[in-house]
Amino acid sequence: MRTTDSAAVLPAQRRPRLSTGSLARHAVLLGFTALALFPIYFMVVNSLKTDDEYVGNSIGLPRSPVVSTLRDALAGGDLYRWLGNSLLITAASVLISTAVAALAAFPISLMRWRPGPFVLSFLVGLMVVPPIVLIIPLFQMVVNVHQLSTYQSVIVIYTGVMLPFSTFLLASFFATIPRTLIEAARIDGAGTLRVFRSIVLPLSRPTLMTVVVVQALWVWNEVLIALVFLQEGSRRTLMVGLTVFKSRYHLDIPLVMAGMLWATIPMLLLYLVGQRFLIRGLTAGATKG
Amino acid sequence: MRLSRGAPWLYAAPMLALIGAVFAYPVVTLVKYSLENVSTSPYVPTTYAGLSNFRYIFSDSLFRTALGNNIKLFLCVPILAVLAVLVSAILFDRPRGWRAYRTVLFVPYILSIPVVGVVFGTLFQLNGTANTILRHAGLGALAQDWLGSTAWALPTIMFVIVWKELGFGIILCLARLASVDEQLFEAAKVDGAGWWRLLRHVTVPQLLPALAFYVVVELITMLSWVFAYVYVMTLGGPQNSTVVSEYYIYQAFFQNSVAGVGAAAGVTLLGVVSLFILLRVWMGRRAALVAYD
Amino acid sequence: MKRPMRTALATIALCALAALLFAVAATARTSSGGLGSQYDVSKDGKVTLTLWWLGDQEVPGIEKWMKETIAKYQALHPNVTIKTVIDPTDTWTQTQQTACKAKSGADLWYNWSGTWSLEQAWSGCTVPNEVVLSPADISTVPNVGETRWQGKTWDYPLYRFVYPVVYNKALFKKAGLDPNRPPTTWAAFLGASQKLKASGVTPIVVGLKDGFGGEILGSATFQKQLYSSYKGLVQMVINGNFTSPTWTSWITKLAQLKPYFNNDVNSITFGEGLGRFQNGTAAMVFGTPGVQATIADMTKAGKQVGVMKPPVFGSGSYANSLVNTGNGFQVTSWSKHKEVAGSFMAFMHTTERLNALYAQTGNFPADTRWNPSQAKSATDRAMLGWLKDKNVNYPANYYPTDLDVNGNFVVFQGILGGKMTVAQAAKTYQDVITKWRKLHAADLRNYLAWVSSL
């Protein structure tokens, strides 16, 4: 697949000239940058303040920075518990979804499977089904099997909801694997499972990474399903917990901001590390003429 | 590859089973519920309701408001498209530090909606930071009750959606531009085309496929992925002025215990979305076919 | 003759006494040692009870009290373990319904009175107090009446929320008002608000962003004034007209107060509004559950605070009163240890626990076995006095949630924070109830049955 990572494809950098045009460009870009970063700035500066300082100074840098607010936000251990829940659920559902998707993408792209293209179109269609319409029946279903407020129920739902995307992306990539490689292995007597394990998977490592990063971001930030299916206090994910956190400390904005900051840091780290994979995944399929 | 006829099915089975459980079964059940008076307890029977749930939602002014709000959110899409083209065109000129800009401008897209909603909710209070800034800048007349008035609450939510979704558009456009033949731009420049002409006659036409994809994805977002914004920022208020279809369905089922009504609204929403699904499938297939080469 | 006669009589008397003793013992045994406080938990073997509630979200400080209560109960009954789960308030009703449909989860759960509890009862999700508590346990709780239906009571209140108007004495003084004689009539109240405004403070503060401020104000300050019994209100739900002059009359009064509220009611939450009263930027705040904690905090910070009954405008006998509602626990119908749950509910009502509850949270225990003379503060004494005069409950507990969420929430945001007129407000209620009646035929039948038990 010729999905583009723009950084890799762009030609060598041209020397920018310092002109009014380039100044205007920087002005526009700096404006957008400021806007994009303002909420993070707001979270950071205020989580370094006490509530008393915030009342008189809500936008400026803290005059006497404190770490106590950041520490207080973690007190009681709720944030840790929610963080743990989010990590567990994200890791499990992303791994399962990626594995199941890889298995399914294999016949779709690399075997002569007649329903393959149809299945693929169908999956693309499912990618846009609003999750809210699935919630009511899923809710009843989960209730009927007595699985409400369990990790496994949410993991299964997340896995299912992500499968159209992950299968589609992997199928598109698998289709670019040279058939000759596979034929050669077959001639050597390799079974389908061997081909899958020792040729397809190793070749797809970057794409698998992409699938993992995009899905992790989505699960981590998901609200509706977590809100409905993980109601029990100790099972809440970070995103649902944050809404509780906010209503608990609504009077102390710095404390709320500190909680928000703690919740944001893991995703920012993942983004900075996995940016390449993330962008590749999100732009896949959109850049073709 | 030659193999037994059952093998492909075997590989695809886990995926098909999960899709069946998470998509197929719920959609079928939803349609069934939309035709029933679904009971709220194990001790009360569910009865067949015909089309009465649908008649009910279409006579319900709240549902009409909700759908109307989704349509109003569509206004975000052209704004997003224009801004994405502008910013990506500027970035494509590769000013100093463009990679850093790109990294930063994408940050809003990866932040979670609860975090974004809480922060903007604080900023946009009547006596909040946004109005304080306006007042200090001598623009006190522009200060509004951003999330607390029926006139401004939805536009404010739209601002936050645009703020968050723009990064995605920029990345898409940049990726597309990077795959365009550089000579196209050079030729236009040799012909003496200025920045705007270049944008209009070369960049935008080249961006069209990416933009079309972006527009479809964002239209779908405005219909079916805005629940969290509303839940976190306004809870549908003030005076139910920011209720969207998703929120209506959520309320019908979880607060008012009328699953049938929620299901009817869900089926209606699904009907509207399926128009876009067809578009998306068509685009997805084209992309997939290209990918097969 | 005399002696044998006496002996015989004595013998008969003894026999009778013995028989009586046997009979008492026997009855006691057949009713398995009694229920609630009299229930013998030890014979149930190892039991784990799960309790669902809202914890400090409802009453700050109560989680600590509950922890102690559980520890003491478990020490007394080593075979019982009690697990608590704190749920979010937003999705509370849905959580209960879910559990009910699945018939799993809590053995007992927290609930508000009135329809909140009764809807669970009507759906068969909970059992009445009479099945798990002794008559003595029930008779000392004044608020069980809020859930009377079919001759039984369906929620066992632990504490009473009260809804006074709280005011800042210093700000009253500054505005030239007598801080010890707050207004009692509507006209006097408007006059006082005017003076407060002229003195440069916000007369009344409220946050309506999260909606329920509309329920609290509408219910505890305004709607109750129309009634002398809530039979009329439930009848209203069944077939009343919400655009009638009676119902509209209170909305008119609300509209008169609009100039005296803070100008950003829709952009702050209820808690944030309370915070502004607490920090002294607003002079009055209407009916806030858990108000005693606010008063205590302010007193500690050197701010003098007074309470008043909502100013009277209505002609119902409830008009001049302090509204209160009892919140407590229900035992679920699928619990395998209903009697143990009842025993724990009764334990929460032992005098020592009730005293601790008042000491730790400031809320009034909902039990006449709690001695009100423990109240030391003037505000608590005043409120307890008003409660003794009249037990007037919370009107929003007598109509469906829909009328609350799409009625009260919307109307208050509209009147105080928007441009809604009184007529539009009345029509909003009427539209909501019309929709509700259309959709809830079964609930309507329950309301009919309810109205006859009121």
ipTM: 0.86
Strand C148-149 and strand C152-153: the pairing is antiparallel
Across the A:B interface, residue pairs with CB atoms under 8 Å apart total 343
- Per DSSP (E only), the strands in C355-433 are 364-365
Structure confidence at residue C57 (pLDDT): 79
Is pLDDT at C22 greater than 50 in this prediction? no
Distance to chain C for A10, nearest Cα, Å: 47
Query: Percentage of residues in chain C with pLDDT exceeding 90?
Result: 72
Q: Is the pLDDT of residue C17 over 60?
A: no
Question: Comparing C-alpha atoms, which of B106, C121, C158, C371 is closest to residue A270?
Answer: B106
A residues 142-201 closer than 8 Å to B (CB): 156-157, 159-161, 163-164, 167-168, 171-173, 175-176, 182-183, 186, 192, 195-196
Record: contact A250-C99, CB cut-off 8 A = no
Q: How confident is the model at residue C8 (pLDDT cuts 50, 70, 90)?
A: low
Look at residue B291 and tell me whether its pLDDT is greater than 60.
no
Contact A16, A29 (CB under 8 A): no
Q: What's the rounded mean pLDDT across residues A265-269? A: 89
Q: What is the pLDDT of residues C380-432, one digit of tens each?
A: 999 999 999 999 999 999 999 889 989 999 999 999 999 999 999 999 999 99
C409: nearest Cα among C436, C394, C393, C428: C428
pLDDT band for A249, please (50, 70, 90 cuts): confident
The predicted structure's pLDDT at residue C71: 97
pLDDT tens digits for range C345-392: 999 999 999 999 999 999 999 999 999 998 989 999 999 999 999 999
| Mean pLDDT score, C1-23 | 51
Helix A253-283 and helix B113-123: axis angle, to 10°?
130
- Span A40-62, average pLDDT: 87
Distances in Å between the Cα of A131 and the Cα atoms of A150, B15, B215, C397 are 19, 18, 20, 34
Instruction: Provide the mean pLDDT of chain A.
Output: 84
pLDDT at res. C98: 73
**pLDDT tens, position by position, C25-71:** 444 444 456 898 899 998 899 999 999 998 887 888 899 999 999 99
User: Stretch B45-57: mean pLDDT, rounded?
Assistant: 88
φ, ψ of residue C252 in degrees (nearest 5): -60, -45
Report the alpha-carbon distance of residue C208 to residue A169 in Å, rounded. Answer: 46
pLDDT at A285: 55
- Confirm if C89 and C290 have CB atoms less than 8 A apart: no
Of residues A52 and B87, more confidently modeled: B87
Q: Tell me the pLDDT tens digit for each residue of C388-402.
A: 999 999 999 999 988
pLDDT in tens, C76-100: 999 999 999 877 676 677 778 878 8
Local confidence band at B285 (pLDDT 50, 70, 90 cut-offs):
low
The percent of residues above 70 in pLDDT, for chain A, comes to 89
Using CB atoms and an 8 Å cut-off, which of residues 217-256 of chain A contact chain C? 227-228, 231-234, 240, 243-244, 247-248, 250-251
* Cα–Cα nearest to A286, from B283, C261, B97: B283
Question: Given this model, what pLDDT does residue A8 score?
Answer: 40
Tell me what pLDDT residue C218 has: 95
Q: Do C57 and A251 touch (CB under 8 A)?
A: no
| A55: confidence class by pLDDT, cuts 50, 70, 90 | confident
Q: Which residues pair with C124 in a beta bridge?
A: none
Range A186-212 average pLDDT: 88
Taking contacts as CB-CB distances below 8 angstroms, the residues of chain A near C57 are: 247-248
Q: Return the pLDDT at A2.
A: 35
| Amino acid making up residue B146 | W
* Cβ-Cβ contacts under 8 Å, B47 against chain C: none
Which three-class secondary structure state does DSSP give residue C175? coil
Query: What pLDDT band is residue A121 in, cutting at 50, 70 and 90?
Result: confident
Residue A163: φ, ψ to 5°:
-55, -45
Instruction: Confirm or reject contact between A270 and chain C (CB < 8 A).
Output: no
- Mean pLDDT across chain B, nearest whole number? 87
pLDDT attached to residue A6? 41
pLDDT of residue A186: 84
Please check whether residue A134 touches B, CB under 8 A: yes
Q: What is the mean pLDDT of chain C?
A: 89
User: What is the predicted pLDDT for the residue at C143?
Assistant: 93
Number of CB pairs, chain A paired with chain C, less than 8 A apart: 44
Query: pLDDT category, A1, cuts 50, 70, 90?
Result: very low
Structure tokens at B261: 């009504």
Q: Can you give the pLDDT at residue B289?
A: 40
Q: What is the pLDDT of residues C203-243, one digit of tens each?
A: 999 999 888 899 999 999 999 999 999 999 999 999 999 99
- Hey, which bits of C24-147 come out as E strands? 47-53, 80-86, 108-111, 126-127
Angle (CA) C91 C97 C103, round 5°: 135
For the ranges A63-72, C105-114, C301-310, the lowest mean pLDDT is seen at A63-72
Number of H-type helices and E-type strands within chain B: 16, 2
CA dihedral sign, ordered A181, A187, A193, A197: negative
> pLDDT tens digits for C313-356?
999 999 999 999 999 999 999 999 999 999 999 999 999 999 99
Please list every residue in chain A whose beta carbon sits closer than 8 Å to the beta carbon of residue B254.
228
Q: What is the per-residue pLDDT across A122-166, written as a single tens digit (0 to 9) for each?
A: 898 888 888 999 988 898 788 777 677 789 999 999 999 999 989
Where would I find the H helices in C168-290?
169-174, 186-198, 212-217, 231-239, 245-257, 270-278
pLDDT band at B188 (very low <50, low <70, confident <90, very high): confident
Query: Do residues A6 and B98 make contact, with C-beta atoms less than 8 angstroms apart?
Result: no
Radius of gyration for the alpha carbons in chain A, expressed in angstroms and rounded? 23
Tokens of C203: 């007369």
Q: What is the mean pLDDT of residues C8-15?
A: 54
Of A146, A234, A247, the CB nearest to C104: A146
B202: its two tokens: 């070369």
Among A173-182, A264-273, B91-100, B183-192, the range scoring the smallest mean pLDDT is B183-192
What is the 8-class DSSP label of residue C42?
G
Instruction: Give the count of Cβ contacts less than 8 A between chain B and C.
Output: 95
Higher pLDDT residue, C273 or B39? C273
Mean local confidence (pLDDT), A59-72: 87
C87 to A146: CB separation less than 8 angstroms, yes or no: no
Kindly determine whether residue A221 and residue B112, on different chains, have CB atoms separated by under 8 Å. Answer: yes
Question: Percent of chain C having pLDDT more than 70?
Answer: 92
Angle ∠(C360,C364,C369) on CA atoms, nearest 5: 105
Q: End-to-end CA distance of chain C, in Å?
A: 63
Confidence band for C260, pLDDT divided at 50, 70 and 90: very high
- Give the three-class secondary structure for C79: coil
d(CA C212, CA C214): 5
Read off the pLDDT of each residue in B75-103 and give the average, rounded to a whole number: 92
Q: From the candidates C90, C439, C444, which should be mutated to test the interface with B, based on the most B CB atoms within 10 A?
A: C439
Closest Cβ opposite residue C414 in set B145, B239, B256: B239
The single-letter DSSP state of residue C288 is: -
C385: how many CB neighbours lie within 10 A of its CB? Answer: 12
Distance, in angstroms, between A5 CA and closest chain B CA? 6
Measured in angstroms, the CA of C417 and the nearest CA of chain B are apart by 7
Lookup: tokens for C133: 């508590």
Average pLDDT over residues B22-45: 86
Strand partners, C330: C109
